[in-house]
Amino acid sequence: MEVAIYSNSRQLFNRLFCNILHLHRSYYHHGRSKRILLSRLFQPMNLREDRTIGVGRSSDITCKSQRLMLQAGLIQPANTGCFHYLPYTVRAMEKLVRVIDKEMQSIGGQKVNMPSLTSASLWKTSERWDLLGKELFRLKDRHDMEYCLSPTHEEAVTELIAMQGNLSYRQLPLMLYQVTRKFRDEPKPRFGLLRGREFYMKDMYTFDVSEGAAMETYNLVSQAYSCIFGQLGLQFVKVQADTGSIGGKMSHEFQLPADIGEDRLLMCSDCHFAANVEAMTDTETNCPQCHGKLKESKGIEVGHTFYLGTKYSYILGASYSNTENKPVVTEMGCFGLGVTRILAAAIEVLSTEDEIRWPSLLAPYQVCIIPPKKGSKEELSLGLSETLYDTLIDAVPQLHGEVLLDDRSHLTIGKRLKDASRLGYPYVVIAGKRVLENPPVFEVRCQNNGKTVFLTQEGVLDLLRNVKIV
């Protein structure tokens, strides 16, 4: 009886506590605290207020994206080839993952999450334990069992399917993907997030009934990749590539042309042929398809697709039951997108030397509002910036959580505008001299196209209603 009374009292207390918490949250979101204030956001010490920016030894900075990301407080070095991803970067990365999720799931992809720690026995079965050599981070547990921190998951996902017994042909194609941390013991990490030892990747693994069906899936995923880069506004090139240590029968890379790219690409000016130099049997000067002139350029690899055939499914026993209820080895494909590499590569190809430019969908915040400086004549209109913020959130609901108020009003507008340009907000709304007019007029800088317009509050709302959010 006492236990029952205690249990009922506990439930009543929990309900009361939850109600109080709900009221607190409601007050928080409907009061002034709902505004996202720049002064409250976490930034490295070298970016606080108006301190001089320092990014370490100049010899450590090897490309534009790395320098800009360090200067803007997007990343912070942790150890060689590893970085802390700070709040702005995490927001951008989460948006990119949402774009990827939408495309992968639209073609039938199902999201999973596999362990980073995988058994050496799997890698030895596929004979990649020795093939990858020092590239693998290897370790032993207290029982002297060997493992590695996976740079990729072909073995693990194939074993997962094999453990299920024979799949039915009705379940295929099966497309499993994940977005996880990967590990590679790079001998010379460089270019910031473009080539590190720890990074995020989207990897998909597909299982089909035949080579023809596997090729249909291959083309389907490749088209989805093209859609992803198209949505981000990134100019990419799909090139024939070497299968490398992953193996298989066919491979393509998605490359962003860039001077700092480590891949050498050959592209035909007369047809659509393009290939990584590594995939060519010899360095040709003419196109193998139309005999036109091949032009060489450099690129950053941001995606890679492989038709694997039965390389892994045969060794590890992943099969399905056909229409005659007989076991058949599945045909496989694997498809990778470098999540953190896409972020850095996009900054590399879109930004100026001094200011970050994000793909619009990935900008950590879409709008930054800069109120007047304290002590200035415009300070009398300080409330107009806060009113604009609140009205904007109410009138354009998709911008909830996407608008930032730079409340560091002890700094000049010029200083805060410089910070805003460095961080790459697509829209910066400034309460400058013209807010004293009747009606008040705001200066709006559209960072991605370099245009500046002067608009009333209604004009600002009309402009920002068209902003697309992931």
Q: Give the pLDDT of residue 31.
A: 45
CATH of domain 90-349: 3.30.930.10
Q: Give the pLDDT of residue 10.
A: 64
Tell me how far apart the alpha carbons of residues 83 and 343 are, in angstroms, rounded to a whole number: 14
Q: Where in the chain is the domain with CATH 3.40.50.800?
A: 365-464
* 73-112 pLDDT tens trace: 999 999 999 999 999 999 999 999 999 999 999 999 999 9
- Report the Cα 2 to chain-centroid distance in Å: 54
* pTM, two decimal places: 0.90
Q: Where in the chain is the domain with CATH 3.30.930.10?
A: 90-349
* 138-183 pLDDT tens trace: 999 999 999 999 999 999 999 999 999 889 999 999 999 999 999 9
Percent of the chain clearing pLDDT 90 (strictly above): 78
Mean pLDDT calculated for residue range 58-69: 83
Tell me how far apart the alpha carbons of residues 319 and 146 are, in angstroms, rounded to a whole number: 27
The answer to whether residue 381 scores a pLDDT higher than 80 is: no
Q: Give the pLDDT of residue 54.
A: 46
Asked if residue 440 lies in contact with residue 384, where contact means CB atoms within 8 angstroms, the answer is yes
Q: 357 — phi, psi (to 5°)?
A: -125, 120
Pairing of strands 174-183, 250-257: unpaired
Asked: is 365-464 a CATH 3.30.420.40 domain? The reply is no
